Amino acid sequence: MKNIIKLIFIVIVLLQVTGCGEKWLEKPKSTTILLPEQVWNDKAMIRSLLANLYNRIPHHQANFTGQANMAAYDEGIATGSQESGVDISNNNITSYAYNRWTLWDYSYIRDLNLAIEGLNELSTKLTAAEKEQFTSEFRFLRAWDYFEMVKRMGGVPLITSQLIYDFNGDPSYLRNPRAKEEDVYDFIANELDEIKNTIGNEDSQDRANKYAVLALKCRAMLYAGSIAKYNALMPVPITLPGKEVGITASRSDEYYQKALDAAREIIQSGKYSLYKANSDPGVNFYELFVKKQNNPEMILRRDFNILGNKKHNYSYWMICRTMREDNLSSSAVNPPLNLVEAFEYLDGTPGVLQGVGDGTVAGQANWIFYNKPQDIFANKDGRLYGTVVYAGTTLKGVDVNIQAGVYEWSPSLNRYVRYESSVFGSLHTDGKLLTGLGGPMRNVDEVSNTGFYVRKFIDPATLSSARGVGTDIPWPYFRYGEVLLNAAEAAFELGFIPEALTYINQVRERAGFPPNSLDASTLTFNRIVNERRVELCYEDHRVWDLARWRLAHTLWNGQSSNPNAVMYALYPYRIVHPGSPNDGKYVFDKFVAPKFVAPRYYREGNYYSQISQTVLDNNPLIVKNPFH
């Protein structure tokens, strides 16, 4: 015991002696801590900081994060895949929480302000042009982040320089009130106008250039214009007395005009065009998102690189069950029938599928007997194939094998009797397929519950859906197709119908429609709504679009009697009826997806998200949003 104490004593003394010997605090150059002067005078370090800042742009729905939000609206339901974080609770959202979209991103804003000020005050070794370019990029990201905040929260405090506490005992001078919603949009427009010619990066798709700046401006101004117009058209517009939310209705045309001007500048530059490398419209639309090289449509994207170990697991989570390459996951998000029917027929008629039963005996009278399962989807918008995996198609060269079961004729009952199985690839008593390798199944995890899978963004490369390999499909932030639709909508709202038609018809022609498929009599507001739904599905637009049009609370009103709020499945069955011409044909039943529980419910209080209690406690100048 004594020895031990002695030993400890000696060690402590020794540590103190040697510790004092070196001058820790006066070490000349640290290799782990960099001083501002060092960072702002080294281009390589600024670029690496910039990479960090690009990575911190907030995402709600993306291929590398937030897949659960693809299953939370009317683009998908969750199937209960264990690994993906796409929780089955997405099917049971009784009502969207008021803080679901809350974003109060001031640590990011601070870092951007710090970068802008640091670069301008401390940088001596960079040329003026280099400084201007970096500053423009920081300001672009800051404007973008303010757009992400204003579309969720309404007006937020506009902080454009570092807030530094002077330790005088009273920090209340650092409190800033919320700006008006329209002031934030005006700030974004002004910032982007000022930097568009100095941002450089002329031919980059991974760092913002002039056209990315214009694309952001176009999107933001379109949001402002539609909020100004459609909020005022509500029976009771959503406003606050200080106009922190709600935009003056009379300014809508001004914002639409700015959106159109920004879009025109991109279009007239001729620098970008729609991706049309493949002559098959469906395959072409799929390739648009998975072809990285020579893709003329991408204005700004977030790229990944397998070899550089910068990758994500979208394919692992989303891949169709039939061709999954891992022993877990797949099928995390299933597109509902609602989405599939939103894709029009190529003759311009609404996309409702024909000859579908409802799972009951009476419903069998409605059946059309199709020769092949894919026949029910014939003559549809090519983007359906590019977005959704449906029965009778292939993915990665393999037949998706989607079949729910069989209907066998019963002479004694004088009707067809349904057989389903929860065994993948099981055979019926006639020795042919009962339930496919790709389901769908009513109550099994990690297989489609709606009869559909996602194709958009799925990597065609071998083993890309295995965890150890991963995928490097980029995420499109801004692409030319969206710019055309933005331009079409802005022109339509301003009454420039012929101009709107040229833009929207280009997008539709690429999808397989004949030239000039819409004319002045058929172009309506609802057509634009639907066009954006099918073109921009899973690209983080749907929920924001419905919010700015003030459609969300009527479309998703939480009522089980509302077919827009309830997500449906479509199950294919093979007919077993020896001796009949229908034998071996296929029929379809439509019903509420078995795993879908609560109708989508978006309340008026969701249009502007809840500001957290901590923020309200710290700053009494912040006013709450309506209904909270």
Partner 1 sequence: MKSMKNIILTTAILTSLFIITGCEYDNYKAPESLLTGTVVYNGTAVGVRSGGCRLELWQYGYPLRQKIDIYIAQDGTFSARLFDGNYKLVRLSGAPWPANNTDSISVTVKGNTSVEVPVVPYFITKNETIIHDAGVITATCTIEKLGTLNIQSLQLLVGRTALVDVNNNVQSTTVTTGLTDLSTPKTITVTLNDAMKARDYIFARIAVRTSGVTERYYSPVFKINLK
Binding site for partner 1 (CB under 8 A): 1, 4, 94-95, 98, 234-238, 553, 557-561, 598-599, 601, 603-605, 613, 617, 626-628
Give the integer Cα–Cα distance in Å for 142 and 397.
43
Give the integer Cα–Cα distance in Å for 134 and 125.
14
Helices then strands (H, E): number in the chain?
18, 15
Give the burial string for 405-415 (b: 16+ CB within 10 Å, else e): bbbbbeeeeee
DSSP assignments along 400-438, one per residue: -----EEEEEETTTTEEEEEE-SSTTEE-TTSSEEE-TT
Give the integer Cα–Cα distance in Å for 143 and 198.
15
With the C-alpha atoms ordered 245, 249, 250, 253, is the resulting torsion angle positive or negative?
positive
Which residues, including other chains, have CB under 8 Å from residue 399's CB and lie 6 or more apart? 322
Give the integer Cα–Cα distance in Å for 332 and 318.
5
Q: Which is nearer to partner 1, 209 or 625 (CB)?
A: 625
Which tokens go with 380? Answer: 């549809």
User: Before 498, cis peptide (omega within 30)?
Assistant: no
Task: Give the CA-trace dihedral at 222, 228, 234, 239, to 10 degrees.
Answer: 130
Q: How far is the CB of 233 from partner 1 (least distance, A)?
A: 12
Q: How far is the CB of 1 from partner 1 (least distance, A)?
A: 5
Q: Which is nearer to partner 1, 4 or 17 (CB)?
A: 4
Q: Choose among 395, 358, 397, 392: nearest CA to 376.
A: 392
Q: How far is the CB of 559 from partner 1 (least distance, A)?
A: 6
DSSP assignments along 533-580, one per residue: HHHSTTSS-HHHHHHHTT-HHHHTBS-TT-TTTS-EEEEEEEEE-TTS
Q: Which is nearer to partner 1, 301 or 553 (CB)?
A: 553
Q: Which is nearer to partner 1, 238 or 402 (CB)?
A: 238
Q: How far is the CB of 177 from partner 1 (least distance, A)?
A: 17
Task: Give the CA-trace dihedral at 373, 374, 376, 378, to 10 degrees.
Answer: -160
Q: How far is the CB of 421 from partner 1 (least distance, A)?
A: 27
Q: How far is the CB of 607 from partner 1 (least distance, A)?
A: 10
Q: How far is the CB of 626 from partner 1 (least distance, A)?
A: 7
Q: Which is nearer to partner 1, 108 or 601 (CB)?
A: 601
Q: Pairing relation of β-strands 388-389 and 453-454?
A: antiparallel
Give the integer Cα–Cα distance in Å for 329 and 445.
9
Give the integer Cα–Cα distance in Å for 243 and 249.
12
Q: How far is the CB of 92 from partner 1 (least distance, A)?
A: 11
Q: How far is the CB of 104 from partner 1 (least distance, A)?
A: 17
Give the integer Cα–Cα distance in Å for 479 and 536.
10
Expressed in percent and rounded to 5, the helix, strand and coil fractions of the chain are 40, 10, 50
Give the integer Cα–Cα distance in Å for 296 and 280.
18
Q: Which is nearer to partner 1, 305 or 554 (CB)?
A: 554
Q: How far is the CB of 248 from partner 1 (least distance, A)?
A: 19
Q: Which is nearer to partner 1, 316 or 602 (CB)?
A: 602
Q: How far is the CB of 235 from partner 1 (least distance, A)?
A: 4
Q: Which is nearer to partner 1, 415 or 628 (CB)?
A: 628
Q: Pairing relation of β-strands 405-410 and 568-576?
A: parallel
Q: Which is nearer to partner 1, 379 or 612 (CB)?
A: 612
> Is the CB of residue 231 less than 8 Å from the CB of residue 548?
no
Q: How far is the CB of 73 from partner 1 (least distance, A)?
A: 17
Q: How far is the CB of 613 from partner 1 (least distance, A)?
A: 6
Beta bridge partners of 105: none
Q: How far is the CB of 564 from partner 1 (least distance, A)?
A: 14
Phi, psi of 428 (to 5 degrees): -80, 175
Q: Which is nearer to partner 1, 494 or 551 (CB)?
A: 551
With the C-alpha atoms ordered 518, 521, 526, 529, is the resulting torsion angle positive or negative?
positive
Tell me the Cα Rg of the chain.
Answer: 28
CA neighbours closer than 13 Å in the CB half-sphere of residue 578: 3
Q: Which is nearer to partner 1, 160 or 557 (CB)?
A: 557
Please report how the helices 210-232 and 252-269 are oriented relative to each other, as an axis angle in degrees rounded to 10: 150
Q: How far is the CB of 120 from partner 1 (least distance, A)?
A: 39
Q: Which is nearer to partner 1, 99 or 366 (CB)?
A: 99
DSSP assignments along 100-163, one per residue: TT----HHHHHHHHHHHHHHHHH--SS-HHHHHHHHHHHHHHHHHHHHHHHHHHSS-----S--
Q: Which is nearer to partner 1, 27 or 628 (CB)?
A: 628
Q: Which is nearer to partner 1, 268 or 561 (CB)?
A: 561
Q: Which is nearer to partner 1, 65 or 89 (CB)?
A: 89
